[in-house]
Chain A
Amino acid sequence: MQSADVGDPSKANKAVKKSVKKERRKEKISNKGDSSKSQQQQSVQQFDGAVAPKSKAELRAERRAKQEAERAAKTLKKEEQAKSNKAKGPQVSANLQVDDPKVQKKAAKKLEKQQVPQRTEGHKKVTLFSHLHQYERSVSITKDIGFGSTGIHPAIIKLGLQYAEGIITGSNARCAALMNAVCQLIADYETPPQKELARHLESKLKPAISFLNQCRPLSVSMGSAIKYMKIKITKIPSDMSDDKAKQELISDLQAFVHVNITLAKQAISNSACSKISDGDVVMIYGSSSLIIHVLNAAFKTGRNFRVVVVDGRPKLSGIRALRHLCRAGIKCSYVLISAVSYIMPEVTKVFLGAHGLLSNGYVMGSVGTSLVSMAAKARGVPVIVCCEAYKFCERVQTDSFVNNEIGDPRDLLATDGSSSGPLIKEDAYKNLDSLKVLHLTYDVTPPQYMAMVVTELGMLPCTSVPVVLRVRSFDT
């Protein structure tokens, strides 16, 4: 049969149906007991442009039709199976498949549709991390955004730039700033006619979030906030007026920040303070807003302790922590991370902040956290992680390679044009092809190095993260 094109499923389907119908009609006619001649004639008319009506040819044609029908049905089945197999496979984010050109093409198309500018990859990529984005901060991502109305609200553009330039750092600060910007977006939002607030607002948020993701990959805290946002938006009743809905959304988001960041900070300080006793030497790494708050609170209760601040390049965020603590009157020392095993015999406790806590009990923190924990464990010094409960995520990770954020390698090179000094110069980096510089942002610490995690729900062992996630899912 000419119409049965095997490669095209929809056409094959129609051809199958046609041939089945024809066969049924033939059977009906034969059952009615028409004369064989008229039967032959009719069958000749159905098989258009056929040769002389011979019974053998008829039979052959019938057999062929049946075969084509079966073949078409088989191909349909195979394609359906292939589709279902694809759906069963693990869903890996496009951000972890940068070395797969097909996945990247799809992601690029998606961004184009949302009118979000895409960042260009850096020139020199470290092959071990070729599955992750390795950007260089050469050109501002907002250069291509015109003054006309694009899909992205100016508050979001401002926020994205602040993230990309490193003006807003720290998971709590980033999350709070995100909620602020989204509140502004919602306040300025007008539902277009004949569209529902809940659906259209979500479609407005998607390009905003993609843009922020391009500026700087989303942190665990931001991911948690966005999930909450989406749940609240879908729960808006359809009969509520737009103004009221917007007001409620804004107050909900502000309450999220208040409960999960501000109030949690106080609860955690109260519990963690009890673990700092007189005469303690507390070590901290980098600058975590929560840890600084805990230490300030403990100092205010009159405890006598001193702090060792460990710092790491290139961010040198420990200097900020040092400034805050010294201003409060706490005695501090400052070392670089290379001296951590030297200073460890003096230390009695280590307090660390976390970027996020994973479901298998691993703690994701700024790069260097795992080093400090391992050094502490080797000397029997207890490591206490303070982390708000909204930073618990359902991800599971056992190493720092699979999922990480690669920063700009130029941050590690010499910043000023001085020709002396130990740091690599920019020209040397550009000219030497075999020289690659890696700037990791996060690392992952196994739970056996941590003594406990302090959250607003109390003091827990690291392995209790799934329990907390379960308890919280009952609340929301």
Chain B
Amino acid sequence: MGEFKVHRVRFFNYIPSGIRCVAYNNQSNRLAVSRTDGTVEIYNLSANYFQEKFFPGHESRSTEALCWAEGQRLFSAGLNGEIIEYDLQALNIKYATDAFGGPIWSLTANPSGTHLLVGCEDGSVKLFQLTPDKIQFERNFDRQKNRILSLSWHPSGTHVAAGSIDYINVFDVKSGSAIHKMKVDRQYMGMSKRQCIVWGVAFLSDGTVISTDSAGKVQFWDSATGTLVKSHLIANADVQSIAVADQEDSFVVGTAEGTVFHFQLVPVASGSTEKQWVRTKPFQHHTHDVRTVAHSPTALISGGTDTHLVIRPLMEKVEVKNYDAALRKITFPHRRLISCSKKRQLLLFQFAHHLELWRLGSTVATGKNGDTLPLSKNADHLLHLKTKGPENIICSCVSPCGGWIACSTASRFFLYRLSYERDNISLKRVSKMPAFLRSAVQILFSEDSAKLFVASSQGSLHVIQLLEGGFKHLHTFQPPSGTVEAMCLLAVSPDGNWLAASGTSAGVHVYSVKHLKLHCTVPAYNFPVSAIAIAPNTNNLVIAHSDQQVFEYSIPDKQYTEWSRTVQKQGFHYLWLQRDTPITHISFHPKRPMHILLHDTYMFCIIDKSLPLPNDKTLLYNPLPPTSESDVVRRRTAHAFKISKIYKPLLFMDLLDEGTLVAVERPLDDIIAQLPPPIKKKKFGT
């Protein structure tokens, strides 16, 4: 495998934003997740929980509610008072309608999906009708005194429960009048000066309204008479979210202490027909507030301020009890936020509103395996580049020579030229970027830094030639058929002849940059692509999919390579396929064509194509055996997958030159240390 000096980088101060809302779509088994910075991500739960698409955030858009409506339409509403519909094909915002009620706190769709209800700051509940391309305001319900924080439709669509401060109102949809006004106790069995905020309501088909409030209670109300039926005190802090299953036999609530409780409808005595709601399971997978929960047919999904997305399959609902039924915790991004310039040893970190350029440190010491070498020159923070405007950065890249930086937001494209004299760098912005480069999904520089490839959200691919003073638009590859459906990834061959682009449902397209036309298309696979790269010299395209399959396709021959066919025939090791996190980066060794270097969040692996492949019985993870073992044993147990789990959690790993690797780690403790304050836990003796 070779010996490498590894730059262990921990100065990437990456903090993901907390999760504010989740919405589960049953038809397509997709989960929409909205974060506090306005980003909306779509996870495909059947494709190994991979993040397929995302909509970049906006500073003024503080989303408070997210919902799916009929026909796979996604809506969100927030404190800026606007209802936003997202275009899932073109990956942008279709339109934003102002609801004219002030900040919007809750949004819910009709069970039949034809109408939307919006709960506003001024206490009004507004009804919108869904038209094929827009939404139309229909009417207001009776205006209430306080802000409407939560809404829930009755499954038949005739009544609506609205939770506000100290009260829950039940509205009749047809007339719009409030039938019942149910007063919520401020404290379970007691008095309190603090107002009771009803964070979540759910309406069941038998007329029961379930409410969760800030006093830590879950209460069951009868909407026909407007009275309280049962009250459970489950937490010392707020219970902030509730989600009911489709069959209405179980629901899940999330509390501010990080606990998620599962309530189920169980018979009172075995064999009796009478049923009651019982709190069955507590789950403590979060440290901070669980602001949102969702209930899919087989799993409980929760997300909150501690930025983890936790998907807990319920054992009684899962049919096949294999690794799919394990807990999934998604913390780290499924795409690359770091790019590297190998020649100058620079790293570009992408944040929400700025970019940071760092030069790696250097050392002159040597040591043996496992030593930590002292730095003779510290890592240098060269540049802190803020982007103008409230929008988040979608993607960014630094050229391999270190002379260009490009980044894109939803409305602008920035290209900067860097020049280095001695120890100083100077930056110059290239102005007047063309409009078609805006809202790029992926940016890539060619190896010689002469060309820039930009994948735009409309599906087209632009080739720009970089000149000293500016740029020249060379060519645009239009999408051959279909539209962009998944995250677009780009890869360019080191000799600059081939460009690979994934993202359409037709498979990975390979374009010839020299002749500016489509060369071939890799056959489509039913799981989305998580990383692609083109090897030097051999021009083999290596594709990693979200279900941990790795393919190798030879571009000049237009077919899969021998090695790839062998691997597919034998299949990957079962432990390889059971990994949680997708492969986000693939790179190659310049002098060893048989090596492929790839990494995911918890391991990095060098695949040696010359060694035999492991079968299910061999040990997949076998670190370097001690030298006391004989050579024969080592040769017998050696297989193609050399996995190392020393550096984790890994955000990025790349080969800088023949003997150096760079590993960017982000320890979870460093993220947790910068989160908002959690609820106090009182432990005896502290």
**A and B assemble together:** no
Residues of chain B having any CB pair with chain A under 8 Å: none
